Amino acid sequence: MSESNTEAAGTILLIGASRGLGYAMAAELLRRGWKVIGTVRGPQRTLLHELADGYPDRVEIEQLDVTEPDQIAALRSRLAGRSFEILFVNAGTANTDQDETIAETSTEDFVRVMVTNALSPMRVIEALQDLVSPTGMIGVMSSGQGSIANNTRGGHEVYRGSKAALNQYMRCYAARQGGQARALLLLAPGWIRTELGGPNAPVALEDAVPKVVDVLLAQQGQPGLRYVDREGRTVPW
């Protein structure tokens, strides 16, 4: 499909758009007339590059490994002078053996998951926040597993802890923003069939992502922090 550039509905800077939910969100936002600046981790061609071929005027691809502070600073420099309605950090990971308990997890895996899922999104947000319009939105992909209140069954312990930490850091960030007009969002998409979600996840990407994007766009213009699922329901902390 080829698409000529008319006036875009808005511009989103989408961090982690090479595959999975991030890629599918990019595709859905393009269908809805948005302009997407999407990041991929490495130099190799990804699904986002395939997508960009169909929307040459509305997709830009940048490179970023969110765990590399120098790369975050370099991206900030490259994007100087730009303005986005939405900054959304989707990039995330899980530990190799999701069944292991927290004490069984290797220090290396613990650090990798926590740095990727909790520390790095906050570094990205702090570094790029001033590129977001004053009434725009800053969002990040959390998970229902980040809810402490809903954790009655345990499991996926390292991953849960990383998303709970992410939620806490977004609350810290929100508390520091005072009365700013920006919307802040922690999105829990549900269990979706992706590489991370695995083949047993009950919901396909194509069924989940239109709702995920509906919920994302519905938060625009609503100042303050929300933690919501893909139906727009508040998730208890």
- Cite the beta strand spans of the chain per DSSP E: 11-15, 35-40, 59-63, 84-89, 132-141, 183-188, 224-229
Report in angstroms how near the CB of residue 206 gets to ligand NAP at its nearest: 13
- DSSP code at position 148: S
CA within 13 Å, CB half, 154: 4
CA within 13 Å, CB half, 155: 6
Q: Between residues 141 and 217, which has the closer beta carbon with respect to ligand NAP? A: 141
Residues 201 and 177: beta-carbon distance below 8 Å: no
- For residue 214, what are its two tokens? 């509906």
Of the residues 3, 41, 110, 129, which one makes contact with ligand NAP according to CB under 6 A:
41
Q: Is 183 helix (H, G, I), strand (E, B) or coil?
A: strand
Amino acid at 190: G
Q: Between residues 73 and 181, which has the closer beta carbon with respect to ligand NAP? A: 73
Stretch that binds ligand NAP, among 6-14, 58-66, 123-131, 221-229 (CB under 6 A): 58-66
Of the residues 12, 174, 192, 213, which one makes contact with ligand NAP according to CB under 6 A:
192
How deeply is 37 buried, as exposed, middle or buried, from its count of CB atoms within 10 A (0-12, 13-18, 19+)? Answer: buried
What is the side-by-side strand order in the sheet with 84-89? 59-63, 35-40, 11-15, 84-89, 132-141, 183-188, 224-229
62-101: contacts with ligand NAP (CB under 6 A): 64-67, 90-93
C-alpha torsion 95→101→105→109, nearest 10 = 20
196-235: contacts with ligand NAP (CB under 6 A): 196-197, 201
Q: Between residues 196 and 218, which has the closer beta carbon with respect to ligand NAP? A: 196
| Per-residue interface string for the shown chain with ligand NAP, residues 122-151, x marking contact by CB under 6 A | -------------------x-x--------
| Per-residue interface string for the shown chain with ligand NAP, residues 8-37, x marking contact by CB under 6 A | --------x-xxxxx---------------
> Is 167 near ligand NAP (CB under 6 A)?
no
Q: Between residues 192 and 225, which has the closer beta carbon with respect to ligand NAP? A: 192
Q: Between residues 122 and 180, which has the closer beta carbon with respect to ligand NAP? A: 122
Stretch that binds ligand NAP, among 49-57, 60-68, 95-103, 126-134 (CB under 6 A): 60-68
In angstroms, the CA 115 to CA 105 distance is: 15
Q: Which residues bind ligand NAP (CB under 6 A)?
A: 16, 18-22, 41-42, 64-67, 90-93, 116, 141, 143, 189, 191-192, 194-197, 201
